[in-house]
Structure 1
């Protein structure tokens, strides 16, 4: 049950944003065994003055097309699955909508399964 927050600079088309949703969901299905229809994602667009990043942090040449993806997920995946997820996201977003791998920034936040309520005020995974 990943929850994904995607941030990018304003001005991209709806098709571009939908391609990010689609690629991210496919990467999660491919590497994290996310069930069909388990899609909880938001995109937030920011004006340039409200979107700051290290343009060369760790020797990675980022551009204004940077996409920041924060994924909150259960702490049940292996290191290999996490690495596969990061690779697959960069690969799929490179294919469409054409984001350079240098501009794909992913942060994974892991939580215990009992820290979710997916509706009705219930802890479905507890």
Structure 2
């Protein structure tokens, strides 16, 4: 049951925001094997005064169109998280055309017992949704 927060500058087109959500969800399905209906995202549009970041973070020029994606889910292997980052970046670069230089991502891992939703069943071995595909080591 991942929970995704997307922060970006206010005034973006609804189609742009939907493309961000779709690209992130597609990567979660493809890389982590989450079920199609396991879809919870919050989009937070911020005023310019409230979206604060260094325009040359890591020495790379950034634009006013920066997007921060915070992903919360159960622990995954480092390789899976890196593959997820790459899949999201690739998806968002294709549609809606977000340059990788304007994308920032973080993962917050939570214990399996910290999630609740009526009807959810948990695999006792993996601690994830019992409908998920088995994850590689």
- Taking structure 2 as the reference length, the TM-score comes to 0.84
Q: Deviations over 1:56-108 (max 9, x none)?
A: 12122221111000000001x11111111101111000101110001111110
- What is residue 14 of structure 2 aligned with on the other side? 14
In 2, distance between residues paired with 1:92 and 1:61?
A: 21
Instruction: Name the SS of the counterpart of 1:45 in structure 2.
Output: strand
Partner in structure 1 of residue 84 of structure 2: 85
CA RMSD of aligned residues (A): 1.5
Question: Equivalent residue for 2:115?
Answer: 116
Q: Is 1:23–2:23 an aligned residue pair?
A: yes
Per-residue deviation at 1:17? 0.4
Q: Distance in 2 between matches of 1:50 and 1:29?
A: 31
Question: For 1:58, what is the secondary structure of its paired residue?
Answer: helix
Instruction: Say which SS state the counterpart of residue 70 (structure 2) adopts.
Output: strand
The match for 1:98 is: 97
C-alpha separation between the residues in 1 aligned to 2:37 and 2:58? 36
Equivalent residue number for residue 40 of structure 1: 40
Report the CA distance between 1:30 and its aligned residue.
1.1
CA contact (8 A) 1:116 1:124 kept: no
Q: Separation in 1 of the partners of 2:114 and 2:121?
A: 9
Q: SS at the partner of 1:61?
A: coil
Unpaired runs of 5+ residues, structure 2, are 128-137
Q: CA deviation at 1:119?
A: 3.9
